[in-house]
Amino acid sequence: MWKRLRKMRLPRSFRLNLMFAAVTCILIPACLSLMIYNSLTKNAIKEQAVTNSQESLQLVNGYVSHLFNYMLDIANYVQMDAEMNAILKESASDPIVNGPDGEYERFMDRSKVTDKIDHLTLGGEKCYVTILLKNGTFYTNYPVYDYHPTDLMAEPWFDRLNRLYGFESHWIGSTPTVFRSEQRNNPYQISLARTLREGDAGIYGYVIVTILENQVNQIFANAPLDQETMLVDSGGRILSHPNGAQIGKYFPYLHQISEGNRSRIIPIDGENYLVSGHALPYSGWTLVALTPYKKAVFKINTIFNRVFLFQLGSFFTFLLLLLYILQRFTKPLVRLGKVANTVQRGELGVRSHIRGPDEIGQLGLSFDLMLDKVKAMIDEITVTEMRKRKAELLMLQAQINPHFLFNVLNSIRMKMMGKGDRESAEMISSLSKLLRMTISRDKGSIGFHEEVETIRDYVRLMNMRQKEKVALDIDVTTDAAMMPVPRFFLQPLIENALIHAFYQSAGMIVLRAWVRNRQLVVMVEDNGEGMNQADLQALRQKIACGRERPDGEVDSRKGFSGIGLANVYERLHMTYGDSFQMEMDSEQGKGTRITLLIPMEEAHSIV
Are residues 392 and 488 located together in one domain of the fold? no
Q: Count how many residues are written for the chain.
A: 607
Count of structural domains, the chain: 3
- CATH code of residue 136: 3.30.450.20
Average of per-residue pLDDT across 427-448: 67
Does some domain include residue 328? Answer: no
Are residues 176 and 92 located together in one domain of the fold? yes
What's the confidence (pLDDT) of residue 603?
A: 42
Residue finishing a domain among 216, 235, 270: 216
Give residue-wise pLDDT tens across range 184-225.
Answer: 889 999 999 999 887 766 888 999 999 999 989 888 887 776
Please check the confidence at residue 599 and state whether its pLDDT lies above 80: yes
Give residue-wise pLDDT tens across range 165-176.
Answer: 888 899 998 999
Give residue-wise pLDDT tens across range 392-426.
Answer: 544 444 444 555 556 566 667 676 777 776 767 67
Are residues 93 and 174 located together in one domain of the fold? yes
Are residues 193 and 86 located together in one domain of the fold? yes
Please check the confidence at residue 8 and state whether its pLDDT lies above 70: no
Nearest to 501 by CA among 448, 546, 539: 539
What is the pLDDT confidence band of residue 21, given thresholds at 50, 70 and 90?
Answer: confident
What is the pLDDT confidence band of residue 481, given thresholds at 50, 70 and 90?
Answer: very high
Burial classification of residue 213, based on how many CB atoms lie within 10 Å of its CB (0-12 exposed, 13-18 middle, 19 or more buried): buried
What's the confidence (pLDDT) of residue 452?
A: 92
What's the confidence (pLDDT) of residue 129?
A: 93
State percent of the chain over pLDDT 70.
79
Cα separation, 234 vs 406, whole angstroms: 123
Which H or E element spans position 33? Answer: helix 14-80
* DSSP per position, 372-403: HHHHHHHHHHHHHHHHHHHHHHHHHHHPPPHH
Does some domain include residue 147? Answer: yes
DSSP structural state of residue 499: I
What is the pLDDT confidence band of residue 62, given thresholds at 50, 70 and 90?
Answer: confident
Does some domain include residue 11? Answer: no
For residue 552, CA distances in Å to 54, 108, 136, 410, 547 come to: 102, 150, 145, 41, 6
Q: If DSSP codes are grouped into helix, strand and coil, which group holds residue 211?
A: strand
Q: Would residue 420 be called left, alpha or beta, if left means φ above 0 and alpha means ψ between -120 and 50 degrees?
A: left
Q: Terminal CA-to-CA distance of the chain, rounded, Å?
A: 46
What is the pLDDT confidence band of residue 258, given thresholds at 50, 70 and 90?
Answer: low
Does some domain include residue 245? Answer: no
Give residue-wise pLDDT tens across range 525-578.
Answer: 998 888 889 888 888 888 777 544 444 444 434 433 334 778 888 888 888 888
Can you say whether the dihedral through the CA atoms of 585, 591, 594, 595 is positive or negative? negative
Average of per-residue pLDDT across 575-600: 90
Average of per-residue pLDDT across 462-490: 87
Are residues 485 and 580 located together in one domain of the fold? yes
What is the pLDDT confidence band of residue 10, given thresholds at 50, 70 and 90?
Answer: very low
Does some domain include residue 529? Answer: yes
Please check the confidence at residue 383 and state whether its pLDDT lies above 50: yes
Question: Chain-wide mean pLDDT for the chain?
Answer: 79
Are residues 491 and 390 located together in one domain of the fold? no
What's the confidence (pLDDT) of residue 12?
A: 57
Average of per-residue pLDDT across 219-239: 84
Average of per-residue pLDDT across 505-513: 90
What's the confidence (pLDDT) of residue 400?
A: 45
Task: State which residues form the domain around 204.
Answer: 81-216
Are residues 92 and 175 located together in one domain of the fold? yes
What's the confidence (pLDDT) of residue 410?
A: 67
Please check the confidence at residue 606 and state whether its pLDDT lies above 60: no
pTM over 0.75: no
Does some domain include residue 275? Answer: no
Lowest mean pLDDT among 3-17, 144-158, 169-183, 298-312: 3-17
Nearest to 149 by CA among 133, 163, 138: 138
